[in-house]
Structure 1
Amino acid sequence: MNERKPSCSDCSTQNCSKRDSLYPKFCITPDLTDSQIEEIKKLYTEDEQNHKLAVNSAEIEGDFYGKLTRVEETVEFIKRIGAKKVGIATCVGLIKEAKVFAKILQHNDIDYYTVACKVGSIKKEEIGIAKEHHIRPNADHESMCNPILQAKILNEEKTDLNVAIGLCVGHDSLFIKYSDAPVTVLVAKDRVTCHNPVGPLLMSESYYKSKLFGEK
């Protein structure tokens, strides 16, 4: 195995954040040229959509840091960017939560359109997913998750922003890939931790140590 190239997860200073320390020798930031930085800045300032998303998300972070839940931040973000219609791409397993979020949008006079992951009701076998990999192998019909169709339907609805609620790992990648509108994630699915995927990371030195790193 080739020697791994050091990156940000190997840094102990995070000097790029406050500039109150030193950059490590392998740091990306000091090696960037002025022209590279200027090119990136232009993507934020000269592209209208980029500018709107970047400025409003930063302002919400600054105005409500540690004060608003992610649900509240999402609603505030929708309002600030002037999104007229919001797409909700939800897992059927979180349809109750999606319905609550839809009610919250309605309460805030925000239009929305929801598409669940099993839309199209296509059997998993039809795209080559073997029975042994089904959740219910003995069932007569088990529909595949369909993030591409979710995205295409929301594209047809001409949504201004799409909110992902509990899409599976990988299915969320396909949804983002095919979505015309920008995507934000409201819920990252983790059935084991009640959708709190950071839990195992926080407990990686205790309960989850053997689960994540194995017994040694």
Structure 2
Amino acid sequence: MDDKDLYSRKDISIMKSAADTLNRNNDRIQEIIEYAKISNIKTIGIAHCTTFNKEAKQLRTLLEIEGFTVEQVNCKLGKIPFSDLVPNYKGITCNPAGQAHYLEEKNTELNIMMGLCLGHDMIFNAKSKALVTPLLVKDRKLNHHSIKKLNSSDF
């Protein structure tokens, strides 16, 4: 199979729009904003861990200033007891499938993932009907800066 056969027209359109917005002077948030504008996206979802409530609110404000409708949902949506899913587990579980479903109901066209736990991010990505891009990856040990490990001599 030829590599170009791996890509649908939609895939190519996404890649072209992303390439058209590249600018060395833009940070990741500005890249997302520019991509959404060039792609004519109007509604953006933010799926985040409760650890990042403050940052998600700040992101929402930035996106709204740029003219987007923003839907935001944290990981404890529905406050599901973990024991409902896995016997003998305690506490309230995260709900990445619920987050994806909530944002689908709000008709988001692009979802931004902020600090979802490993595994939960995979479920959210798999369940999201809208495109998903990560903004922040949870890394408890390295204060959410996983690249520090790769840039060190500690491995």
TM-score (norm 2): 0.93
1:165 to 2:114 alignment = yes
Q: Which residue of 2 aligns with 1:31?
A: none
The answer on whether the counterparts of 1:74 and 1:186 sit within 8 Å (CA) in structure 2 is: no
Question: Structure 1 residues 107, 39: closer, same or farther in 2, change over 3 A?
Answer: same
State the Cα RMSD in Å.
1.5
Residues 104-143 of structure 1 aligned to structure 2 (within 5 Å): 104-128=62-86, 130-131=88-89, 142-143=91-92
Tell me how far apart the structure 2 counterparts of residues 149 and 85 of structure 1 sit (CA, whole Å): 18
Residue type matched to 2:63 in 1? L
Q: Name which structure has the greater RCO, CA cutoff 8 Å, separation 6+.
A: 2
The answer on whether the counterparts of 1:87 and 1:154 sit within 8 Å (CA) in structure 2 is: yes
Tell me how far apart the structure 1 counterparts of residues 38 and 97 of structure 2 sit (CA, whole Å): 28
Q: Which residue of 2 aligns with 1:88?
A: 46
Answer 1 or 2: which has greater strand percent. Answer: 2
Counting matched residue pairs gives 155
Q: Report Cα offsets for 1:59-100 as digits up to 9, x if no partner.
A: 223xx13x2111111111111111110111010000100000
Tell me how far apart the structure 1 counterparts of residues 87 and 112 of structure 2 sit (CA, whole Å): 27
Structure 2: gaps (5+ residues): none
Tell me how far apart the structure 1 counterparts of residues 27 and 4 of structure 2 sit (CA, whole Å): 34
Residue type matched to 1:174 in 2? I
Displacement, 1:158?
Answer: 1.1
Question: Structure 1 residues 129, 112: closer, same or farther in 2, change over 3 A?
Answer: farther
Residues 169-180 of structure 1 aligned to structure 2 (within 5 Å): 169-180=118-129
Question: Structure 1 residues 109, 98: closer, same or farther in 2, change over 3 A?
Answer: same
Q: Which residue of 1 aligns with 2:94?
A: 145
Q: Which residue of 1 aligns with 2:19?
A: 58
Tell me how far apart the structure 2 counterparts of residues 199 and 129 of structure 1 sit (CA, whole Å): 37
Structure 1: gaps (5+ residues): 1-34, 135-141, 210-216
Tell me how far apart the structure 2 counterparts of residues 188 and 129 of structure 1 sit (CA, whole Å): 28
Displacement, 1:38?
Answer: 4.2
Query: What SS does the corresponding residue of 2:141 show, helix, strand or coil?
Result: helix
Query: What SS does the corresponding residue of 1:192 show, helix, strand or coil?
Result: coil
TM-score (norm 1): 0.68
